[in-house]
Structure formats: structure tokens, C-alpha cells
Structure 1
Amino acid sequence: MSLLRPFAASLLAVALAACGDAHAPVASAGQPGTPHRGGVLKVALDGDPQCIDPQQAGNNTALNVGRQLVDSLTDQDPATGAIEPWLADRWEVSADARHFTFHLRPGVTFSDGTAVDAAAVKANLQGIVELGARAILGSTYLAGLAGIDTPDAHTVVVRFAQPNAQFLQATSTMSLGLLAARTLATPPAQRCQGELVGSGPFTLKSFVHNQVVSLARRDDYRWPSALAAHTDQAWLEGIDFLIIPESGVRLGSLLSGQIDVNTSVAPQDEAALQSQGLPILSRANPGVVFILAPNESTPLFSDRRVRQALNKAIDRQQFKPILSQHQQVASALLASSTPLYRDFSALLAHDPQGAGRLLDEAGWVPGSDGIRVKDGQRLSFKLDYWQSVPILELVQQQLRQVGIELRLNKTTLSQTTALQASGDYSVRFLNLTRADPDVLRTVFQAPGYNVSVRQPGQIDQLLADSAATLDASKRQALVDQASQQLIEGGHAIALIELATVLAQGKQVHGLHYEASSRLQFFDTWVQP
């Protein structure tokens, strides 16, 4: 699994957001009336998608685009977490969570006219395994795949060597979304740039990096998720995703009517939007919250006491004034919108005196400028990051108060990726969105992605056991134990929940988030 490391930044790329009812459509001024067919929706993204192949994509901008191009075997209700039919109209899971049988709905085709049948599903799942580290998310969902059987054209049996309780939820993600055979035969790099054929409600017209991704409606689409509000083709004629990195430009473009939707609202812009009566929709992203992950292979962070001191030195309540009004400070490693979430805020309490005692025990004593020293070395480390998150400066100040120097280096996604791939770093800043607690295993298990470069131990057995049981109460207990040990060991420092906050024009209706807080435009329409 070490092959995943060079692609770490893609896995962990994020967009800010917040909490709310994800399945409900965006609130609109006045009565929405009867849905209107037609119109091209102009949607602002805050960054370039880089790779729009859903099976390879890792950042939110790419996944928001990719969700419109591909369908999944199942869907997940964002309000309840329940798995609902999509391309599979029913399924069975063996008692040991090793065999998953899907029964496909008939008559579904890719946009090139080829059938979405059992052979296509098998080819896609096998293809994701073959992509390896390029399928940064999907490959982890399929770990331990033993075989795929196709007893008839509409039945697929997926077999795993070990119990894999998370797999049913994984089939609802776009990372396991289905692509036509001609796309699977295309080199991965070309797929990233837009050589894609899916079965979704929209098709790709064009992709110009750092400018626009244009989609067109597929007129013969008739197989939406069971969660959709209507059953035939999408209401919109098309979607133009415009790349607008500057938050102020996105705000001005929405206020002036040049765009219809701003997918990433900056906290400082919320008041202006509210004063104009423009609807805002927010939802807490499920999954692992924003964390600092110390590199435990370094001499500094191999010491448990230093890692624990980081956690105790941080006052998360001080983050609130600079966060979006929709956003929350972390109360666990899992976000509050994640199934099986449990509040561990007591383990995240601000305790600067406790942090000082731990550092004293570890041999770090205050230096002349307040930064602690040991054997002539300063207690200082650098964080390279690319995200626009103002809390990091506050974290820097709080750590300094206990004698820790955090040096912040704002850089680019590609530079951060290269640095992390080299292993030459002290700490990482990241999150990962997924509406299943197995996201902890994806991020922390050793051997595996093991973001903290932690030595294998009891945590890994807890994570493996949680993936092996379908019993919700047993899984809850295992997830809780793993979460507690990760926090208490200082293996991850929870900071804030990721949230998605968007704003739209009053003419836009029916836009909503799916379970992983990505956007679903199938039911969206524009009032003429």
C-alpha cells in the first residue's frame, strides 16, 4: 500500500463546507413551482479539477464534476445513511461480509450505446484494482478482492478473501462509478483529461484546464437513483463548471448574475450573500476531519509525549470566530455527520499546563526566546500545505505559547505532493471525506496508507475487526476504541470539521448534496 503515498495530496484535497440536511434541495426564495427543462447552469469551482476521471479523482472539484458523468451500483441517503438502489435494484450480502451479490436493472447503457451489464461491472472493478495507486480511493475499497463472478448478464457476485463490511457503502461512491469499455482501455492519463464515457445523466463536452469543464445533458437517460425526485432525463440542458480561484471574484460573479452557483463560499462573504437574500446550503462533510498528522518516523515525533503535547496545546474553541457560521470545531477524528460518530471532545480539551509537563518529561526545556530546546536543538518543525485555512496561523500561535515553533509554508498542491512522496516532512495537514467510519482504516491503518507513519499495533487490529463485522453495535465499539487510541497516542491531532458551503441564485432549484457532501445536479433546474 506504500504506493499510495505519491498521490497523497489528491486523496486529501478538500473544499470548505458545513452542516445541514443534505438530501433536501437548496432553499429558494418563494415557491419553486413546476420544474423547467432547459438552460445551462454556470457553476463556479474554486480550483482546477486536475483529473476528472471519477475512478482516479481525489479532490472535491473533480468529484463534483465526476458525479454527473457516472452512475454507481447503489446510492446512500445523506439523511439516514441507508444504502438505496441505483444501477443495482437489489443485492444480498453474505453473513460473513465476504460475498456481495448485485442484481442489475435492465436497459441501462453507457453514452456510447454499450450495455451496463454484469461484464461491464466486472471489468470496472477489475480495472480499478489494476489502476492501483492511481485509483487512490477505489483501490482501498477493493483491497482483498478474491474474484468476481457473472452467472448471468444482470447478476454480479463480488468475492473478498476477508470480511469487507464497508464494501456495500463503497459501491455508492463515484470512486467505484462505472465507465464504458472504451474508457477502461484508454491510458489513465488520457482519462484524467476527459476521454470518458459513463452512464450518467450528463456527458463531457470539453475540459480546458484552469478555465472550464462543460457538460451536456444525455437525452435518453432513464435510470436515476431511487433517491432522485424524477425519473427521466435531467432538467438542465448542460452545466459549465467555471474555474474561479478568487473568493471575491466568485462572490461578485454570483451577485451580478454571471454565475448561478458558487460551490465554495468564503466565511467573510456570507454576510453579503445573506444581505441580498441569496440562498446558502451547507453540510458537514463526513469522514476524517482536518487533522495534523505527525510523521512518527522522525526523531521528534517518535516521542509519544511530544505528539500528546501538540493535542493539549491547541485551544479549538478559539477557532470559532474565524470559521464559517456553518462550520464546527472537531469533537473527534470522525466528523459529526459520519455514521457511528462518537463525541471525544473530552480528549481534545485545551490543557497548556499538561502540554508543558509532557514536554518537560521529554527533556525539552524553555530557551531564551521561549522556544524549547533539547541537546542544542530547537523544538521546531515545518508544515508545508496548500489549502486556504486561516486556523493554521492560530495553531501556530497556540503552540508557541507552550514553547513549540511551527513554521508554516504555504505552497502548491503539486509541490506538497512531491514533498510528501519523498518522505521528507515533519507533519501533514489533511482530511478525507467518506460517509462510512471505515475511512479511519483508509487513513490510519499500518501497513496501509498510514498517514502518521505509525508502527503497527493494536489500533490496526481494531480497524481490521471493524471492517469484518456487519453487527452495528460491535462495529461501533471497535471504531470507538480505535478512535480513542489514535487520539490518546497523539497519532492525529483533530482540528476542525470540513464543511461545504455553497450559495446560489434565487432562480436555481433542486440542488442538493449527496451523502459524501458532493453535489448532485440531476434534479436541479433554473426558473426562466
Structure 2
Amino acid sequence: MTTRRSTLAAALAVTAALALSACANTAAAPGADTASATPVQGGDLTFAVANDPISLNPSSTGSGNDTLYVTRQLVDSLLYQNPETGALDPWLATAYTSNADATEFTFSLRDDVTFSDGTPFTAANVKATFDDIVAAGALSQAVSSFVGYAGTDVVDDHTALVRFSSPNAAFPNSTASVALGIVGDATLAVPYDQRADGKAVVGTGPFTLKTYTKDTSTVLTAREDYAWAPAALGNDGRARLDSVTFQIVPEASVRTGSLTSDQVDVAGSVQPNDVASLEQAGYPLVWRGNPGISFGLSFNLSHPIVADLAVRQAIAAAVDAKTVRDTALNDYFAIATSALAATTPGYADESASFGYDPDRAAALLDAAGWTAGADGIREKDGQKLQLKLWWITNFGPNQTSLELIQQQLKAVGIDIQLQSGPVPDFLEAQKNGDFDIVWGNLSRADGDVLRTTFSKATTRYRIDDPTLEALLQKQLAISDPAARDEVLAEAQARIASQVYQIPVHELTSILGTRDAVHGVSLGADSRLDSLVAAWKSE
């Protein structure tokens, strides 16, 4: 986990059946011990990130982790998922309760919160924000959290009742995400698709937007009147820093070089091949294994070749995940054993369903009628076994990983054509179905990420599997965490047996910092947490 030194807040008093269990299989990360240091007020932090935010509208789709690093500082959420315990702690909401079938959630709200434009935060803002996300539909990355949304009732200024027409036990966890961060009326007055530059974003967060220069930097300044951060962060008052500058530095080696030459204070997305040099040079690392969907290969089931289970099984048997991890990454990254990463609540080990066996891969393809051509690539009915694989350029080791996988699959007669691009191009290809295979992951600290990834209603993979769909919907209706985990385990077993995804490695988020930087941490989703408690000793 991140190098957090503050005392944990008491868990929120919630319905016992909906309490989240801790991610007990994560370990404390290395880092400088700042527990005895006295925080310094003031100072400016420069944080190098790889990608332009694309859109500073918190719930907008088409953005990546670097966007969420920025927007987390602008908006607060109803609840805070504690990365040390996995529990949901108070934030804008002081408490919440659920009815028995998880279709209604009542949030009791703080009465002392204001937006950055001075307007008070009330239940009406909760309703307006949630209604806005639902109305945005596919334009919002958060809309999948609102399946069956029936509306939000303003019970009074400080009580909001969120209703669903069908059970949605994952919703309280969703409210802790950046994408469900609450925005003010001034934001909602601007059309959804015109909020990208952030000028319209009015939140209750500890920072406000000063400037946004596309592909260059985003500069934030501290709010003087902020006083409601989660207790676990260790500072519920004004942010200790005066400003934060997120500087766009696409090249990983340049980010690392900027850190070691003291041009920046924090380098995001530290690549595996830079870890050892930073450690040896004494630069503290902040790291955490990402929960959610593991990095792996997922298939477009509307395309006939990969719609054949035997072909998917052959691809799975031809991939040597250990070699990929050992070559492209390092021991900070775990070999994946399921569609869910091991740090995700509800994870189940499916490693028995996978394993490197090229002889089995060849036999499966032989039996399916794919025979080797003159160039070694298999053919059937005059068609080459050639598949287009899309991947995003936002994580350096992706290319090395996929070139290795490309070689492994070629060895059994499968020709993989690699197609890469930035996040928007990748999402457009998925939307249009212009792929046979995609390589990627999705960070989220709840097993319901299986539904948002593989459900027929939300998937880009064109999966039509009534057995899987029933399991994904069933888990959403179960309030008891242990019972829900059992259904999530069944869903993972189904995904593995049908090879809808081939898990390869888990993601680990790694930040590099200068010695003078303290209080920078990663949240439960392994993305940058609020910087309200961050400070510099020089």
C-alpha cells in the first residue's frame, strides 16, 4: 500500500451487511518514514504525469488515470474508501444506510461544506450530479454505476435518498470514486460536452483550477476555507500546499530524469525499468497493487475466429505469462491468476484454468481445422489465422509485453497484428468493434468491475452468455459481503472456463518522489489520493 502515516478513522457506521472487507492481501510499500516529521504549511508541488487530462469534467469518459489524479483534487465524494482497511469512511456524507434488498440508499450529509464558488453543498447537489451523469449516458464513465437508477429524493437539505428499480449493492462503493464526485450548480449549467477544459468545474475539493494548458500543464491552487477531508488522510483543514502543477511529460525516461534532476517533485507512472535506479539513488517510491481487472487479453465475440472457444483456449495455452512479467516488468507486478486482481474484494484464484502449454495450443488449433501454411501461419478455408490486437500507449511496458505475446502466438501459428494509440482512439476502436483482441486493464476496488466489464449490457466485447449474465446481476443484488464474494467467484470461474479474458499480469501503480515530499499517497483504487495532506520540507 501507499506510504500513509496517519491514524485511521473509525469505520463509518453502516448497515453491517454492506460493510466492505479489508484488502488483507496487500502489503505496506517502502518509503521514507515521515511520522515524526512536522508538516510544513505552504509550498508548490510539481507532479509529472504522462498524459494530458483530456477532460476535467470528473464523470466524463475518454480519460485515463492521469485525468483522475487531477480531478480527485477538485471534487470530493460522498464516501471515502480507506485504502488501509477497504472500509467506507465518511466524507461529504457522515453516514449511510440501505434497505434490505439494496435498492435504496440514504445518505446523511455534512452541513458545513461549500463549493469553490461559495454556494452551500446540499442534498439537491447530490441529486443534480447523479441525474446529470445518468442523462449524459455514454458520455459518462460513471453511468455504469447507475443501472436501474430510479432517481434521487431530496429528503431535506442534508439527507439524500438514492433509489434503484433493481438491487445495486455496489453503489455505495461507487460513490467513493472520482467519477461520482459532486459538482455544483454552476458546473451543471454548462452543457456536458463543453466542460472538458475545467473552467466550469466547481467542486468541494481542497484545490481549484487556476490554469489548464492542453498537453502542457494543469495548475491548481489551494482553497483557504477547505475543512472536511476524510479523517484517514490526516489533515481535515486547508491543503498544506499552496499549489500543485501537473506537468505533462509523455516520455517515462524524461519523467524519471526530471525527478532525479530536481525539476519535478513527483514522477507518476514510474516504469519497471526505472525502479531499481530510483531505489539505488535513494528516491522514495510510493506504490500499490491495483485492484480491478488484471492486464490481459479480451476478445470481440462478434468476430467469428475468436468466437470459437477452441481458438481462445489455444491462445491462452500459448501465452507464457511468467515470461511476459519477468521480461517486461519486475517483482512489483504480480502474475495474474484471474480476471480480477488479487487486491480486489471478491477475488478468486483461477490459475488452474490457465498455464503455458504450446503443445496443447497446437493440438487445439489442429482439432479446430487450422493448419499451418507455407509461412507457418495457420489457415482454414482460405483464411489466415490473423487477428488485430488493440492496445493503449499509456503504460510503457505494454509494447514489450505484447511483442512477447505476439512472438509466443506466432510460434503456434497465430499472426497478431498490433494496433496502438492513445485512450480516445482505443475507446473508439472498442465502440466500433474494430478489433479481435484488446489488451488492457481497469482499476476499481470492487468486484462489481466484472459486471461493468463483461455484462452484455455494458461490455464492448459482445458477450452473450446467459449463465455469466445471471451471476453478474445476482452479485449486484446481494448485500452480505461473504455471499456476494461466492457469486463473484462463480463469475470468475465462468469467465476463465469460457476464456472471455486471458489474465497475464496485475498492474502496480508506482510514484517516485523527492526526499522533501511527504504525504503523497495512493487511494483504494491505486490512483492518486487527495493531496490535502501532502507537504514539502523544503
Identity %: 40
Note closer, same or farther for the CA distance 1:30–1:276 as it changes in structure 2 (3 Å cut).
farther
Give the aligned partner of residue 367 of structure 2: 361
Partner SS for 2:430: helix
* Residue 473 of structure 2 is aligned to residue 468 of structure 1: no
* Residue 380 of structure 2 is aligned to residue 374 of structure 1: yes
Give the aligned partner of residue 226 of structure 2: 221
Give the aligned partner of residue 349 of structure 1: 355
Decide which moves more: 402-411 or 139-148.
Answer: 402-411
Work out the CA distance in 2 between the residues paired with 1:438 and 1:359.
Answer: 34
For residue 99 of structure 1, what is the amino acid of its counterpart? Answer: E
Q: Does the 8 A contact of 1:98 with 1:159 survive in 2? A: yes
Work out the CA distance in 1 between the residues paired with 2:226 and 2:35.
Answer: 28
Note closer, same or farther for the CA distance 1:459–1:191 as it changes in structure 2 (3 Å cut).
same
Give the aligned partner of residue 82 of structure 2: 77
Matching residue within 121, 126, 130 for 1:121: 126
* Residue 515 of structure 2 is aligned to residue 506 of structure 1: yes
* Residue 269 of structure 2 is aligned to residue 264 of structure 1: yes
Work out the CA distance in 1 between the residues paired with 2:35 and 2:327.
Answer: 34
TM-score between both structures, scaled by the size of structure 1: 0.93
Q: Deviation at 1:311?
A: 1.0
Give the aligned partner of residue 183 of structure 1: 187
Matching residue within 461, 464, 467 for 1:452: 461
Matching residue within 467, 471, 481 for 2:490: 481
Q: Deviation at 1:22?
A: 8.4
Matching residue within 305, 309, 312 for 1:307: 312
Matching residue within 485, 492, 495 for 2:504: 495
For residue 45 of structure 2, what is the amino acid of its counterpart? Answer: L
For residue 423 of structure 1, what is the amino acid of its counterpart? Answer: G
Give the aligned partner of residue 391 of structure 1: 401
Note closer, same or farther for the CA distance 1:351–1:21 as it changes in structure 2 (3 Å cut).
closer
Work out the CA distance in 1 between the residues paired with 2:467 and 2:25.
Answer: 36
Q: Does the 8 A contact of 1:267 with 1:325 survive in 2? A: no
Decide which moves more: 504-513 or 468-477.
Answer: 468-477
Q: Deviation at 1:325?
A: 3.2
Work out the CA distance in 2 between the residues paired with 1:394 and 1:302.
Answer: 24
TM-score between both structures, scaled by the size of structure 2: 0.91
Decide which moves more: 350-359 or 64-73.
Answer: 350-359
Q: Does the 8 A contact of 2:299 with 2:437 survive in 1? A: yes
Matching residue within 38, 62, 71 for 1:66: 71
Note closer, same or farther for the CA distance 1:416–1:168 as it changes in structure 2 (3 Å cut).
closer
Give the aligned partner of residue 203 of structure 1: 208
Partner SS for 1:159: strand
Work out the CA distance in 2 between the residues paired with 1:392 and 1:105.
Answer: 48
Deviations 1:423-448 (A, max 9, x none): 232111221111000000000001x2
Q: Does the 8 A contact of 1:23 with 1:77 survive in 2? A: no
Note closer, same or farther for the CA distance 1:25–1:481 as it changes in structure 2 (3 Å cut).
closer
Work out the CA distance in 1 between the residues paired with 2:351 and 2:283.
Answer: 34
Work out the CA distance in 1 between the residues paired with 2:132 and 2:46.
Answer: 33
Work out the CA distance in 2 between the residues paired with 1:383 and 1:32.
Answer: 50
* Residue 47 of structure 2 is aligned to residue 38 of structure 1: no
Partner SS for 1:301: helix
Work out the CA distance in 2 between the residues paired with 1:235 and 1:21.
Answer: 32
Decide which moves more: 348-357 or 193-202.
Answer: 348-357
Q: Does the 8 A contact of 2:430 with 2:460 survive in 1? A: no
Work out the CA distance in 2 between the residues paired with 1:418 and 1:84.
Answer: 36
Give the aligned partner of residue 411 of structure 2: 401
Work out the CA distance in 2 between the residues paired with 1:223 and 1:376.
Answer: 66
Decide which moves more: 70-79 or 380-389.
Answer: 380-389
For residue 128 of structure 2, what is the amino acid of its counterpart? Answer: A
Work out the CA distance in 1 between the residues paired with 2:427 and 2:113.
Answer: 38
Segments of structure 1 that go 5 or more residues without pairing to the other structure are 1-18
Q: Does the 8 A contact of 1:399 with 1:405 survive in 2? A: yes
For residue 217 of structure 1, what is the amino acid of its counterpart? Answer: A
Q: Deviation at 1:28?
A: 2.1
Q: Does the 8 A contact of 1:366 with 1:403 survive in 2? A: yes
Give the aligned partner of residue 9 of structure 1: none
Deviations 1:138-178 (A, max 9, x none): 11111111121112111111111011000010111111100
Work out the CA distance in 2 between the residues paired with 1:199 and 1:417.
Answer: 30
Deviations 1:456-501 (A, max 9, x none): 3110000000000012222112111111111111211112112211
Work out the CA distance in 2 between the residues paired with 1:491 and 1:165.
Answer: 24
For residue 202 of structure 1, what is the amino acid of its counterpart? Answer: F
Give the aligned partner of residue 297 of structure 1: 302
Deviations 1:224-257 (A, max 9, x none): 1132202211100010000000111111110110
Partner SS for 1:486: helix
Q: Does the 8 A contact of 1:28 with 1:508 survive in 2? A: no
Work out the CA distance in 2 between the residues paired with 1:308 and 1:209.
Answer: 43
Partner SS for 2:231: coil
For residue 59 of structure 2, what is the amino acid of its counterpart? Answer: Q
Decide which moves more: 198-207 or 425-434.
Answer: 425-434
Deviations 1:389-427 (A, max 9, x none): 421011011111211111213334343333333223211
Note closer, same or farther for the CA distance 1:199–1:513 as it changes in structure 2 (3 Å cut).
same
Structural mapping, 1:161-180, within 5 Å: 161-180=165-184
Q: Deviation at 1:189?
A: 2.9
Give the aligned partner of residue 439 of structure 2: 429
Q: Does the 8 A contact of 2:273 with 2:329 survive in 1? A: no
Work out the CA distance in 1 between the residues paired with 2:36 and 2:94.
Answer: 31
Q: Does the 8 A contact of 2:420 with 2:426 survive in 1? A: no
Work out the CA distance in 2 between the residues paired with 1:350 and 1:464.
Answer: 32
Q: Does the 8 A contact of 2:219 with 2:246 survive in 1? A: yes
Structural mapping, 1:122-161, within 5 Å: 122-136=127-141, 138-161=142-165
Partner SS for 2:465: coil
Work out the CA distance in 2 between the residues paired with 1:142 and 1:285.
Answer: 23
Note closer, same or farther for the CA distance 1:525–1:457 as it changes in structure 2 (3 Å cut).
same
Give the aligned partner of residue 324 of structure 1: 330
Work out the CA distance in 2 between the residues paired with 1:510 and 1:107.
Answer: 25
Segments of structure 2 that go 5 or more residues without pairing to the other structure are 1-22
Q: Does the 8 A contact of 1:22 with 1:515 survive in 2? A: no
Give the aligned partner of residue 16 of structure 1: none
Q: Deviation at 1:47?
A: 1.1
Structural mapping, 1:101-116, within 5 Å: 101-116=106-121
Q: Deviation at 1:24?
A: 7.0
Q: Does the 8 A contact of 2:433 with 2:460 survive in 1? A: no
Give aligned pairs, total. 508
For residue 341 of structure 1, what is the amino acid of its counterpart? Answer: Y
Give the aligned partner of residue 52 of structure 2: 48
Partner SS for 1:84: strand
